[in-house]
């Protein structure tokens, strides 16, 4: 079994550790600049990157899932050290020349692609800059790293700060399942964690309560005052956007969108905008019809805090079931077992839970094995809790190396078990689990032993969501649902009629959702093409994408972590483009035998195992044999593209 597979979840003296590794890395660079082949230039730096990546990853992970002010203080001290290290490497002209020398040697196809991407990375990171411009670029990168961390911390603290005690009488419309999540003694405590917030917006019949909680949620980390303004992110956002623009100009681009697009599959920001507006034009008529149906059903002029509540009521009327009828059939262990069996059938690997302590009692340690032995490990952290960043994500701890198997962290914020009751998942939450495991499989199943191109590393950002969104399709298949469903009290499978209703309801209001996602993506790309106030850009986009008037208190950008605390800046459109790829890939596999077929195996060998070691679109064409079609996305969403 490979060594170094268990992370140290109690890292000590992290500042000195990071400082020592980065100093060692700089010393290694000084040796590598004199090399002239893969083994003397790339391989030694891969070893340093592997060690540094492990330390950075576990530090970031603990800061996100077990937040404390004490650890965060130390964690933030490491960020400038890391930023300076990567800036030093990226601007090292001698190392750049060494990579250019390596590019002319005898390399295999994967190594050639990795070297090509590395050279491009040097050029996009300012290797040609000198003097004051280079110093300024390094300073900008350090500042952006700290600001991104500050944005995430403010969002977390603002979310955790708001709570409200209510009585049972104030929660009319709730079922016992929803009540059990918020029970506090004789009363009930509302908060802004996603599972609690979604329940309230969906089930609470009290209009005033929904309005209060909605406004608290959308005004987090802002100046509005419905929640505390001491974690206001607006100035942080402005500074991030300003620094990104300045950095882009230093690197010879007109704006950050152009810089971001340079490392993606698309050719220009304008192509992205055309793609998104095409989706808007194809979806808008149907979205208007969907909203008109909802208005008619509700019999009132709807406000944003009414949408989820009346949508659920309308969905129940149209399809003859309440989504809470599904949750008793989807207990945690059954869902995970169904997921693991599906993965085994897709990719011929087995996932087994092992007994290993980690950083929290909620965490499951999972080993992925094949008939050849250990493949990798996944640490699964499913439940929402205080001091844990919201949302769902996968992050890599380490990639494949000669002495190390891949390890990934999968994090969600879902319902936890109740008293004498297992965690019961809504189907949307199951989709989220499948999505994040798609990312994890991309990382774990790699056959690339180079840290710069293993798993998701080196994959263009507009392709990285393909494996995750591809996995989502399988959780609706009848055989998979049968594997996952078992009523936690009766032991019965999900009835046939409920399954049929679930599938029929899959694309309920999908055109409205399409407009919403296009709105986010258009705002993102346009805000990174302009110096205009980012909220003014949002309002401009909403004139073409939003079907309802905005609420004055809406400051949702102030907690938009994908853009200001994550890696999706000028790249949020990647979700939509990857949906095109995912739908196209799924329909191809489904038509050619489905789970376990040769087409399914081809997805493994040409996409998942290759990672970023070869041209992504070339690999897609090798897998499918033809270009992806936007029509596949529209079909999968039940949108009539002729409207």
- What's the rounded mean pLDDT across residues 551-579? 94
Pairing of strands 187-191, 183-184: antiparallel
Q: How confident is the model at residue 4 (pLDDT cuts 50, 70, 90)?
A: low
Instruction: Give the residue with greater pLDDT, 303 vs 390.
Output: 303
- For 353, the 3-state DSSP assignment is strand
Residue closest to 386 by CA, chosen among 101, 148, 195, 522: 195
Residue closest to 46 by CA, chosen among 84, 102, 6, 127: 102
Cβ of 154: how many Cβ atoms within 10 Å? 22
- Cα separation, 301 vs 299, in Å, equals 7
Task: Please give the share of the chain, as a percent, with pLDDT higher than 70.
Answer: 99
Helix (H) or strand (E) holding 319: helix 307-319
Whether the predicted pLDDT of 2 surpasses 50: no
pLDDT at 17: 97
Structure token pair of residue 86: 């990567």
pLDDT at 181: 86
With beta carbons less than 8 A apart as the criterion, state whether 89 and 124 touch: no
pLDDT in tens, 213-266: 999 999 999 999 788 889 999 999 999 999 999 999 999 999 999 999 998 999
Task: Calculate the alpha carbon distances from 57 to 23, 63, 380, 408, 629 in Å.
Answer: 18, 10, 15, 10, 36
Q: How confident is the model at residue 176 (pLDDT cuts 50, 70, 90)?
A: confident
Task: Calculate the alpha carbon distances from 11 to 4, 14, 389 in Å.
Answer: 15, 6, 19
- What's the rounded mean pLDDT across residues 391-403? 90
Rounded to two decimals, what is the model's pTM? 0.90
pLDDT at 328: 95
Whether the predicted pLDDT of 397 surpasses 90: yes
pLDDT in tens, 36-68: 999 999 999 999 999 999 999 999 999 999 999
Supply the mean pLDDT for the chain.
94
- What's the rounded mean pLDDT across residues 184-213? 94
Structure token pair of residue 110: 């994967």
Instruction: Give the residue with greater pLDDT, 273 vs 4.
Output: 273
Output the DSSP codes for 427-462. Answer: HHHHHHHHHHHHHHHHHHT-----TTTSTTTTS-TT
- What's the rounded mean pLDDT across residues 191-211? 95
User: Can you give the C-alpha Rg of the chain in angstroms?
Assistant: 24
**Using CB atoms within 10 A of its CB, is residue 492 exposed (0-12), middle (13-18) or buried (19+)?**
exposed
Structure token pair of residue 426: 């809504």
Q: How confident is the model at residue 189 (pLDDT cuts 50, 70, 90)?
A: very high
pLDDT at 40: 97
pLDDT in tens, 496-538: 999 999 999 999 999 999 999 999 999 999 999 999 999 999 9
Residues in a beta bridge with 418: 421
Task: Please give the share of the chain, as a percent, with pLDDT higher than 90.
Answer: 90
Phi-psi region of 255 (alpha: psi -120 to 50; beta: other; left: phi over 0): beta
pLDDT in tens, 462-482: 889 999 999 999 999 999 999
Task: Calculate the alpha carbon distances from 450 to 115, 293, 352, 466, 520 in Å.
Answer: 11, 53, 26, 21, 34
Catalytic residue numbers, as ranges = 436
Cβ of 256: how many Cβ atoms within 10 Å? 26
- What's the rounded mean pLDDT across residues 561-567? 93
- What's the rounded mean pLDDT across residues 610-625? 95
pLDDT in tens, 304-339: 999 999 999 999 999 998 888 999 999 999 999 999
Pairing of strands 187-191, 163-166: antiparallel
- What's the rounded mean pLDDT across residues 576-595? 95
- All structural domains of the chain, each given as residue ranges with its CATH number in brackets, are 14-128 (1.20.1050.40), 163-218 (no CATH), 328-504+574-636 (1.10.1370.40)
């Amino acid at each position: 079994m490979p060594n170094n597979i268990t992370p140290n979840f109690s890292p000590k003296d992290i500042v000195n550790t990071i400082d020592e590794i980065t100093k060692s890395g700089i010393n290694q660079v000084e040796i590598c600049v004199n090399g002239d082949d893969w083994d003397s230039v790339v391989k030694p730096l891969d070893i340093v990157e592997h060690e540094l990546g492990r330390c950075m990853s576990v530090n970031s992970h603990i800061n996100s899932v077990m937040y404390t002010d004490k650890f965060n203080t130390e964690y933030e001290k490491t960020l400038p050290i890391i930023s300076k290290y990567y800036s030093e490497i990226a601007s090292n002209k001698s190392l750049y020349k060494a990579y250019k020398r390596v590019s002319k040697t005898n390399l295999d196809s994967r190594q050639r692609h990795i070297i090509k991407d590395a050279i491009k990375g040097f050029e996009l990171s300012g290797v040609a800059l000198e003097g004051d411009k280079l110093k300024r670029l390094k300073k900008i990168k350090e500042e952006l790293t700290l600001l991104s961390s500050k944005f995430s911390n403010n969002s977390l603290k603002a979310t955790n700060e708001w709570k409200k005690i209510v009585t049972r009488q104030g929660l009319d419309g709730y079922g016992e399942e929803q009540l059990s999540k918020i029970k506090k003694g004789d009363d009930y405590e509302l908060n802004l964690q996603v599972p609690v917030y979604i329940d309230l917006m969906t089930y609470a019949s009290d209009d005033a309560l929904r309005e209060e909680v909605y406004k608290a949620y959308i005004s987090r980390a802002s100046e509005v005052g419905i929640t505390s303004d001491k974690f206001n992110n607006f100035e942080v956002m402005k500074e991030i956007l300003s620094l990104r623009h300045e950095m882009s100009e230093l690197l010879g681009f007109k704006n950050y969108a152009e810089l971001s697009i340079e490392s993606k599959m698309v050719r220009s920001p304008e192509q992205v905008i055309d793609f998104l507006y095409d989706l808007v034009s194809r979806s808008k008529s149907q979205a208007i019809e969907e909203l008109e149906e909802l208005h008619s059903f509700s019999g009132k002029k709807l406000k944003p805090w009414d949408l989820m509540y009346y949508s659920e009521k309308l969905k129940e009327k149209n399809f003859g079931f309440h989504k809470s009828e599904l949750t008793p059939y989807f207990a945690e262990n059954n869902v995970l077992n169904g997921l693991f069996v599906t993965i085994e059938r897709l990719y011929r690997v087995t996932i087994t839970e092992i007994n290993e302590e980690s950083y929290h009692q909620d965490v499951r340690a999972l080993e992925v094995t094949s008939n050849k032995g250990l493949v990798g490990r996944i640490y699964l952290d499913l439940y929402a809790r205080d001091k844990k960043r919201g949302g769902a994500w996968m992050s890599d701890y380490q990639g494949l190396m000669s002495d190390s198997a891949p390890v990934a962290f999968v994090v969600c914020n879902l319902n936890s078990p109740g008293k004498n009751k297992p965690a019961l998942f809504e189907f949307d939450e199951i989709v989220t689990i499948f999505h994040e495991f798609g990312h994890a499989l991309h990382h774990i199943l790699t056959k690339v032993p180079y840290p710069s191109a293993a798993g998701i590393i080196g994959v263009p950002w507009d392709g990285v969501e393909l494996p995750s969104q591809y996995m989502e399709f399988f959780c609706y298949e009848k055989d998979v649902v049968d594997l996952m469903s078992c009523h936690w009290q009766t032991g019965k499978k999900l009835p046939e009629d409920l399954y049929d209703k679930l599938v029929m309801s899959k694309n309920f209001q999908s055109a409205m959702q399409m407009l919403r996602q296009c709105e986010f993506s258009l705002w993102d790309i346009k805000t990174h093409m302009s110096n205009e106030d980012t909220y003014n850009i949002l309002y401009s986009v909403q004139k073409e994408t939003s079907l309802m008037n905005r609420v004055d208190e809406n400051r949702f950008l102030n907690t938009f972590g994908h853009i200001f605390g994550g890696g999706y800046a000028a790249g949020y459109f990647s979700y939509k483009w990857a949906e095109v790829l995912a739908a196209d890939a799924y329909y191809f596999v489904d038509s050619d035998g489905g789970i376990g077929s040769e087409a399914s195996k081809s997805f493994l060998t040409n996409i998942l195992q290759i990672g970023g070691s070869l041209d992504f679109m070339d690999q897609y064409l090798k897998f499918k044999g033809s270009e992806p079609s936007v029509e596949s996305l529209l079909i999968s969403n039940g949108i009539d593209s002729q409207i």
